[in-house]
Amino acid sequence: MSRTPVIAGNWKMNLTSESSVALAQGVANYQGQPTSRKCCVFPALVHLSAVAEAVAGSAVSLGAQDCHEADGGAFTGEISAAMLKDVGVEVVLSGHSERRHIFCEDDSRVAAKSAAILEAGLDLMLCVGETLGEREAGNTFQVLDRQLGVLSDFGAFVERISVAYEPVWAIGTGQSATPEIAQNAHAHCRAVVEGILGGEAAASMPLLYGGSVNSSNAEELLAQEDVDGALVGGASLDIENFGPILDAVPNV
């Protein structure tokens, strides 16, 4: 089964409203109107509406980096999935390593947020990945099995789910996983998805790699059989770097 590659830019807590709009326009122009690759950008929450306008009518989807799991209520400073949908968001990250490790979000929180995202009608990009200590202890697959376990409740939503394998030791360090390490982990993730949601879901679910992807390593990483795209942090912050990563996937 063929899977449409996805190249995603996670802008984290960077850029101004003006520079977010300029970058979004640059990405939209670069992306053009391809049929063979998807592209999405994840600006800071406060810039979502401005970026929604900038990518309207283009082949770039709007993503949000986080949301709260409740529908609404007394949660000062938080944003619900329905609020994100209301401003044009199509896809939301859940389980990003910075949320797990800096903001102490455990698997049950990730599961609750993921459910809220899917139930609001949005796409879910579930991030998973092991720390360096977990890898060195030989526990990578065990961690991935546990983190992917949240998918067991989402059988009704498989068409709206993608997974980003992001080894924590590779995020923001400049030390990407080798293509072999990425392929190995992705093949394992696909087998786990098959065990949880069945063969059809596993064959159709995009599995993105994230962790120090740049214009020099993107092509080799994306050439791996089970690597269906890239979630890019630092190198997504300007079109000079992000454009060539998009180009690593043929635009036909």
Cα gap 42→89, rounded to integer Å: 9
Binding to ligand PEP by residue 92, rule CB under 6 A?
A: no
- Whether the CA torsion 104, 236, 208, 161 is positive or negative: it is positive
Answer yes or no whether residue 95 interacts with ligand PEP by CB under 6 A.
no
List, as one string, the DSSP characters of 39-90: EEEE--GGGHHHHHHHHTTSSEEEEES--BSSSSSS-TT--BHHHHHHTT--
> How many residues bind to ligand PEP according to rule CB under 6 A?
13
Q: Give the whole-angstrom CA distance, residue 68 versus residue 125.
A: 15
CA distance 252 to 243: 16
The reply to whether 96 belongs to the active site is yes
Least distance (Å) from ligand PEP to the CB of residue 8? Answer: 8
Which 203-242 residues touch ligand PEP, going by CB under 6 A? 210-213, 231-235
Q: Kindly name the residue from 47, 68, 69, 96 that is annotated as catalytic.
A: 96
Q: Please, what is the minimum distance in Å from the beta carbon of residue 57 to ligand PEP?
A: 27
Name the minimum Å distance from CB 95 to ligand PEP. 11
Q: Which is nearer to ligand PEP, 83 or 127 (CB)?
A: 127
186 catalytic residue (yes or no): no
- The nearest distance, CB 39 to ligand PEP, in angstroms, is 15
Q: Which residue is nearest to ligand PEP (CB)?
A: 233
Q: Which of 207, 216, 118, 211 lies closest to 163, judged by CA?
A: 207
Q: According to the binding rule CB under 6 A, does residue 166 interact with ligand PEP?
A: yes
98 and 79 in contact (C-beta within 8 Å)?
Answer: no
Which parts of this chain interact with ligand PEP (CB under 6 A)?
Answer: 10, 166, 171-172, 210-213, 231-235
The residues that are catalytic are 96, 166
